[in-house]
């Protein structure tokens, strides 16, 4: 089939030669038309020649690049290197920014924590000072209350148990063996009446001489004897009791009435 096509093409070329020869050949350029059949004896040879030509073209080395192509290639390589440098620079910049941000965040967090700690320490110190001041005020108030309550208890005790003065006097006389000695007792008039009522008559008191002293508080007395005196006044006993509390609040006559 392919051979028929080649022969048909050759016939066309011969027809063209006939047409050209029919013209004024002197006025036309010389044409040289090679027919397929003039070079190859058969189509098989032509096919083999084409195959060899293609193989030759494939195996032939590529043409050398031109100067323009070399410059373009260099620019492409330089651009690639620049892009790589920019990428690395961007990565380094992002890394440094991240590290700087972390550092700034750490410093900000540490500063905030430090400032908060300072505020808390100051608040704790202020609270401690306030608490100490409160304790001091409370202690003073509690002591004042204790003194007031003690005065009230003494007044109630003297009113309910007036015989305590007689018991105290008898204890002092026995301990100091003053029954046979001349002793002078100074006490409030009400206290003397209580003593007289408790001891019955003057003979039970021996050589005791009682002198009314309105300056003395009820419930106590001042006992004078040859060797000295015994201060059993309520005022003195009261002051000794509250000295341990750091107080020096004297009793008044109203406290014992």
Which residue did the predictor score with more confidence, 249 or 227? 227
Report pLDDT digits (tens) over 31-56.
444 444 455 456 667 777 777 776 76
For the chain, domain boundaries: 2-59, 75-155, 161-256
Give, in degrees to the nearest 5, the angle at Cα 226 between 222 and 230.
25
Note the CATH architecture for domain 161-256: 2-Layer Sandwich (3.30)
Has residue 65 got a pLDDT over 80?
no
Residues of the chain above pLDDT 70, percent:
70
Write the CB contacts of 220 (distance below 8 Å, at least 6 apart in sequence).
Answer: 165, 187, 188, 191, 232, 233, 234, 235, 236, 237
User: 109-118 contacts: CB < 8 A, separation 24 or more?
Assistant: none
Average pLDDT over residues 24-33: 49
Closest among 247, 240, 250, 182 to 210, alpha carbons compared:
182
Q: Identify the band that residue 23 occupies on the pLDDT scale cut at 50, 70 and 90.
A: very low
Q: In the structure, what pLDDT confidence band is assigned to residue 199 with cuts at 50, 70 and 90?
A: confident
């Amino acid at each position: 089939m392919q051979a028929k096509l080649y022969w048909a093409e050759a016939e066309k070329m011969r027809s063209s030669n006939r047409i050209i020869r029919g013209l004024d050949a002197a006025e036309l350029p010389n044409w040289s038309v090679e027919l397929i059949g003039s070079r190859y004896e058969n189509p098989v040879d032509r096919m083999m020649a084409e195959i060899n030509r293609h193989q030759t073209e494939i195996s032939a080395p590529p043409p050398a690049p031109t100067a323009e192509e070399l410059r373009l290639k260099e620019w492409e390589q330089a651009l690639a290197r620049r892009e790589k440098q920019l990428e690395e620079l961007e990565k380094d910049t992002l890394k440094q920014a991240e590290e700087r941000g972390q550092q700034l965040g750490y410093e900000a967090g540490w500063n905030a924590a430090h400032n908060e700690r300072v505020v808390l320490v100051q608040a704790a110190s202020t609270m401690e000072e306030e608490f100490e001041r409160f304790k001091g005020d409370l202690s003073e108030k509690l002591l004042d209350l204790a003194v007031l309550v003690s005065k009230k208890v003494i007044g109630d005790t003297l009113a309910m148990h007036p015989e305590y003065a007689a018991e105290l006097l008898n204890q002092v006389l026995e301990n100091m063996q003053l029954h046979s000695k001349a002793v002078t007792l100074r006490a409030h008039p009400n206290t003397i009446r209580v003593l007289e009522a408790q001891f019955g008559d003057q003979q039970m008191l021996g050589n005791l001489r009682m002198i009314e002293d309105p300056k003395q508080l009820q419930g106590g007395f001042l006992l004078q004897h040859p060797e000295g005196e015994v201060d059993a006044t309520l005022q003195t006993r009261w002051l000794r009791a509250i000295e341990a509390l750091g107080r020096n609040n004297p009793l008044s006559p109203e406290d014992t009435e």
